[in-house]
Structure 1
Amino acid sequence: MPGPTEWRTGPPHAADLVGVGPHPRPWPDDPRLDPALLEVGDARNVVDAYRYWRRDAIVADLDARRHPFHVAIENFAHDANIGTVVRTANAFAAQAVHIVGRRRWNRRGAMVTDRYQHLHHHPHVPALLTAAAEHDLVVVAVDNLPGARPLETVALPRRTLLLFGQESIGVTDAAREGAAFTVSIAQFGSTRSINAGVAAGIAMHAWIRQHADLDRAW
């Protein structure tokens, strides 16, 4: 059988070396596997351990691996970074992603990871804060604001909700006032701020470095 990066339908091309081909028969007797994928191959954006698995089986397995931190991003102006935030949250096995404001968002940057990540919508910040309190989550806003604590030195709560604002304008006043505290990311160049999707990845990885069991990483 072709290796995990050696197959995709159509003629071979460097950009197409993704996935695995049809599984040789006899097929494994495993209820997690999708007969359709076994038949034609699996070129999805999933780690090799999940090749040929049904989507619901992947989500169930991820649910047993997820970390107790949540991520929220404000979406009052159709921020194009939301897809990137969802994709990164999936990579770090966040418990859930919360989108505050507009329900619709650009899924292109998520690279289909939204199918495997729990997503919740809240019409405004007070609704998000209520949900966080109900789940005993400490809300930590991430923005370069006066009085913010350096992310590089702060101890993030294990059960936390990392809250990000929109590109260019940062977190709203309601988000900043509702958070337990705000953290900032150290910068050393000329730019006033860094991309919101990048900032989210840095903050999530800071949580991973402090709390995750690295022996469980793929």
Structure 2
Amino acid sequence: MTSQDDHLDGIGVGPWPGEWPTDARYDPELLELGDRRNVRDEYRYWTREAIVADLDTRRFPYEVAIENWQHDFNIGTVVRNANAFLARAVHIVGRRRWNRRGAMVTDRYQHVEHHATVGEFCEYAAGAGLAVVGIDNLPGAVALEETRLPERCVLVFGQEGPGLSDEVREAASMVCSIAQYGSTRSINAGVASGIAMHAWVRQHVWGA
């Protein structure tokens, strides 16, 4: 069933006009009251479970991770980007709790996993056959704009400020930097995640 937290003023559609569909994917509560969730039109009135099941048939074979040692507020944005760019899963490495507000409810449609340590996360990546790719502007990093990302990989983002931990840097098969042209030395993980995920999509979905 739906939750009042799903609803956003001014977005969506009202109650279903006419006879209700009998397809099990439709939520009777949404059909009756309207669907104000921030979802694509083809998912209007569907249950959350039906939406997740449909997304699962189309998710891309890359995943993303973000370290969470200091309650980073960028995590919600990373999750929202992962939903937009159809990553298979998001991994939170470190603290389990994170601020979900920035995710704009997209965490309900995204597989989010937790790993208490970098070692535990790396064990998962190795078992899943995923190359660990760090995203950070570090000495020796290769330019994302000039790099072919592995098709099966997990893109890892560090904390705002310190960036990737030493453990992740050592475990990564490569670290990619994002070209910047202004006065700041770094961009936050939320912005970096969107750029990196879009780069993967351009390379492996659009064939760029």
Scaled by the length of structure 1, what TM-score is found?
0.90
1:108 paired to 2:101: yes
1:135 paired to 2:159: no
Structure 2 CA distance for aligned equivalents of residues 88 and 138 of structure 1: 20
**Which amino acid is 1:111 matched to?**
M
Identity percentage of aligned residues: 66
172-181 vs 24-33, greater mean Cα deviation: 24-33
Q: CA shift at 1:29, angstroms?
A: 2.0
Q: Are the equivalent residues in 1 in contact too, given 2:9–2:36 (CA < 8 A)?
A: no
Pairing of 1:149-164 with structure 2 (within 5 A)? 149-164=142-157
1:206 paired to 2:199: yes
SS in 2 for 1:94: coil
Deviation digits for residues 44-82 of structure 1 (CA, Å, limit 9, x no counterpart):
111111000011000000000100000000000000000
Q: CA shift at 1:213, angstroms?
A: 5.3
Q: CA shift at 1:16, angstroms?
A: 3.8
Structure 2 CA distance for aligned equivalents of residues 23 and 30 of structure 1: 14
1:178 paired to 2:171: yes
Structure 1 CA distance for aligned equivalents of residues 49 and 10 of structure 2: 25
Matched with 1:92 is 85
Structure 1 CA distance for aligned equivalents of residues 206 and 13 of structure 2: 29
Structure 2 CA distance for aligned equivalents of residues 52 and 87 of structure 1: 21
Q: CA shift at 1:28, angstroms?
A: 1.4
Matched with 2:3 is none
Matched with 1:24 is 17
* Structure 1 gaps, min length 5: 1-8, 10-14
SS in 1 for 2:156: strand
1:41 paired to 2:38: no
Q: Are the equivalent residues in 1 in contact too, given 2:10–2:36 (CA < 8 A)?
A: no
Matched with 2:113 is 120
Structure 2 CA distance for aligned equivalents of residues 131 and 68 of structure 1: 15
SS in 1 for 2:62: strand
Pairing of 1:2-81 with structure 2 (within 5 A)? 16-81=9-74
Deviation digits for residues 151-208 of structure 1 (CA, Å, limit 9, x no counterpart):
0010000001000000011000000000101000001111010111000110000000
Corresponding residue pairs, total: 201
**Which amino acid is 1:191 matched to?**
T
Pairing of 1:185-204 with structure 2 (within 5 A)? 185-204=178-197
SS in 1 for 2:162: coil
Q: CA shift at 1:24, angstroms?
A: 1.2
**Structural RMSD (CA):** 1.3
Q: CA shift at 1:212, angstroms?
A: 1.6
* Structure 2 gaps, min length 5: 1-6
